[in-house]
Amino acid sequence: MIDKELKRIGDMLNQFYNLELYLNRLITKYFNPEKEVEFFNIMLNTSITSFGAKVKIISNVVEVDKIIIENLHELGRIRNGIAHVAPHLVLVNKGDKKTLTSKISIMKGNGEIVLKDFWEWSKRFDELLDIVVPIIKNKTNSINKEL
């Protein structure tokens, strides 16, 4: 059972990486630096500018609904949870029956650690991506048209 979860984690990390590339592209287009490749590859490298910092940049320079910013932060929390904590099996009571289910520990924004159902969290991740990615792409395209 855990093999399916580990494969899904790989898929989710890849999707998050692509999301971060979209954010990098939006920021790069907004600032329109003279040395675009260096800006993109150096300044926006995650070892210099974290995902959270990129979200803050976008929230200050591009008109985006507050809920989209909150969704981006939630995606970051989910990504951190899956990247740093492996899912584990937990025996859960469901009426008269006991079943094994995949759980993952996630730290909420307030620092509280909660145990989440892995597949529900995975579904939430997809829902958030489906909301945010088209908006980020649209914002990037609208900046392209302005230049």
The predicted pLDDT at position 145 comes to 59
Instruction: State how many domains the chain has.
Output: 1
**110's torsion region: left (phi>0), alpha (psi -120 to 50) or beta?**
alpha
Q: What is the mean pLDDT of residues 26-44?
A: 95
The predicted pLDDT at position 147 comes to 47
Q: Give pTM, 2 decimals.
A: 0.85
**Which helix (H) or strand (E) element contains residue 106?**
strand 97-107
pLDDT tens for each residue of 56-101: 999 999 999 999 999 999 999 889 888 887 787 787 787 888 888 8
Domain ranges, residue 48: 2-146
Residue 111 · residue 80 · CB < 8 Å: no
The predicted pLDDT at position 97 comes to 84
What are the residue ranges of helices labelled H in the chain?
Answer: 2-31, 36-38, 51-61, 66-84, 118-146
**CA distances, 45 to each of 6, 10, 17, 40, 106 (Å):** 26, 20, 12, 7, 25
CA 100/CA 88 separation, integer angstroms: 10
CA 20/CA 70 separation, integer angstroms: 15
The predicted pLDDT at position 85 comes to 78
- Token code pair at residue 88: 């584990």
**Which helix (H) or strand (E) element contains residue 39?**
none
- Token code pair at residue 93: 């009571």
Average pLDDT, the chain: 89
Q: For residue 144, what pLDDT band results from cuts at 50, 70 and 90?
A: low
pLDDT of 108 > 80? The answer is no
